[in-house]
Amino acid sequence: MKNFIFHNPVKIIFGKDQISKIAQEIPANARVLMTYGKGSIFKNGVYDQVKQALAGIELHEFGGIEPNPRYETLMKAVEIIHQNKLTFILAVGGGSVIDGSKFIAAAALYNGDPWDFLSKDIKVKAALPLGSILTLPATGSEMNGNSVVTRESSRQKMAFSSPLVYPQFSVMDPQTTLSLPWVQTANGIADTWIHVTEQYLTYPQNAPLNDRLAEGILKTLIEEAQKVLEDPNNYETRANLMWCSTMALNGLLSTGVYTDWATHQIGHELTALHGLDHALTLTIIFPGLMRMMKIEKREKLLQYAERVWNITQGSDDEKIEAGIEMTDQLFRNLGLKTRLSEHQITKEDIQYITDRFNKNGPNKLGEKGLITPHTINSILLSRL
């Protein structure tokens, strides 16, 4: 195991009817900016719950944060913060709203162009405090310090991380997820799955607890995915899916180990250039990347096939292939596409992505830095 420091300060307030508790978490004299997306919170009653809970607190609003939040949009919120001298951000929505709000929190206290946090790896030195109310289990943003932002003008999707943008608290009421369109529920399961596998499917690192935790989340997801397909309105199933997504990316699974993240990094290019939902980029790339890195990831892929998918028959190679194929099937059973051609993405588009990696980097991805632009090209071609 590698040395590590694990410090996750996010207070999770989980369960039915918990949104009312936010008043106890936000200072009474705070000047709050409530951020949200394109309007789902008006339809499912979450907006009204927040307004009620914060009656008496100065509350400003910034709506319209889009999926894959845009720098150009978020900078408008920064202006509102400056104009009104706001002191606290309350993000209400999915990963895009929470990620966008983390960016706003850091940008509000930065003197230069805040895109520097993403493009130049400039460290965040200060950020406004923020809290979140999660309505879409997928990203883990409610309990981590990551933020992914898209810059429309340059068609770039990039990430930054900082301990200063962890939410101070996150409310997770599974009832809020009952209004999700099916595709977002499915996306959330796939995203959670890949967060686990990016940390787990590497090579043996003598971290058996991490392995068992990862396998526990994956096996739970297989069971709960089936349940939510059969009964999407079941509160208990929704609650379990929500907790899985948080546990998948709150830092715990990465303690002491080297991680992969290549599937995500390649996926961000597909979203930036072709507008695919985040999760749909992952369902396409994952099977191809695993097959391409079969030798390097051999022992863990075998462990994955045996322990997660209970595959006991056949040679090691056959088991590995069956494990990858079962994953592809899991995504397809949820109604998610797993091929580039299903999104009209062509060989020429793949070449363009490869050229962007060659030109802008990164050019050594994966847990050992073995995935080059050439490998990326082969992975994408295998998923046409």
Name the site residues for ligand NZQ (rule: CB under 6 A): 37-40, 44, 67-68, 93-97, 99, 135-136, 138-141, 144, 146-148, 176-177, 179-180, 184, 187, 191, 249, 264, 278
Cβ proximity to ligand NZQ, 180 vs 266, nearer residue: 180
Sole residue written with tokens 């990858």: 324
Min dist. Cβ of residue 49 to Zn ion (A): 27
Min dist. Cβ of residue 317 to ligand NZQ (A): 30
The one-character DSSP state at 254 is G
Number of H helices, E strands in the chain: 14, 8
Residue 68 interaction partner, one of ligand NZQ, Zn ion, none, beta carbon < 5-8 Å per kind: ligand NZQ
Cβ proximity to ligand NZQ, 18 vs 184, nearer residue: 184
Choose which of 191, 211, 224, 321 interacts with Zn ion (CB under 5 A).
191
| Contact between residue 311 and residue 305 where contact means Cβ atoms under 8 Å apart | yes
In angstroms, rounded to a whole number, what is the distance separating the alpha carbons of residues 213 and 56? 43
Residues 6+ apart with CB under 8 A from 38: 63, 64, 65, 66
Min dist. Cβ of residue 122 to ligand NZQ (A): 18
Q: 355-368: b or e for each residue (b if 16 or more CB lie within 10 Å)?
A: ebbeeeeeeebbbe
Residues 6+ apart with CB under 8 A from 377: 350, 351, 354
Min dist. Cβ of residue 34 to ligand NZQ (A): 13
Alpha helices in 278-315 (DSSP H): 278-292, 298-303
Min dist. Cβ of residue 153 to ligand NZQ (A): 17
Cβ proximity to ligand NZQ, 37 vs 373, nearer residue: 37
Cβ proximity to ligand NZQ, 176 vs 354, nearer residue: 176
State how beta strands 169-172 and 156-161 pair. unpaired
Min dist. Cβ of residue 214 to Zn ion (A): 15
Min dist. Cβ of residue 233 to ligand NZQ (A): 13
How many residues touch Zn ion under the rule CB under 5 A: the total is: 1
Cβ proximity to ligand NZQ, 249 vs 305, nearer residue: 249
Question: Among the candidate windows 121-129, 190-198, 209-217, 308-316, which touches Zn ion by CB under 5 A?
Answer: 190-198
Min dist. Cβ of residue 351 to ligand NZQ (A): 24
Cβ proximity to Zn ion, 142 vs 191, nearer residue: 191
Residue 283 interaction partner, one of ligand NZQ, Zn ion, none, beta carbon < 5-8 Å per kind: none
Interface with Zn ion, residue 142, by CB under 5 A: no
In angstroms, rounded to a whole number, what is the distance separating the alpha carbons of residues 176 and 98? 15
Cis peptide before 114 (omega within 30 of 0): no
Cβ proximity to ligand NZQ, 278 vs 291, nearer residue: 278
Residues 6+ apart with CB under 8 A from 219: 308
Residue closest to Zn ion when measured from CB atoms? 191
Cβ proximity to ligand NZQ, 67 vs 287, nearer residue: 67
Q: How far is CA 87 from CA 152, 163, 188, in A?
A: 28, 18, 31
Residue 131 interaction partner, one of ligand NZQ, Zn ion, none, beta carbon < 5-8 Å per kind: none
In angstroms, rounded to a whole number, what is the distance separating the alpha carbons of residues 251 and 46? 28
In angstroms, rounded to a whole number, what is the distance separating the alpha carbons of residues 328 and 110? 43
Binding site for Zn ion (CB under 5 A): 191
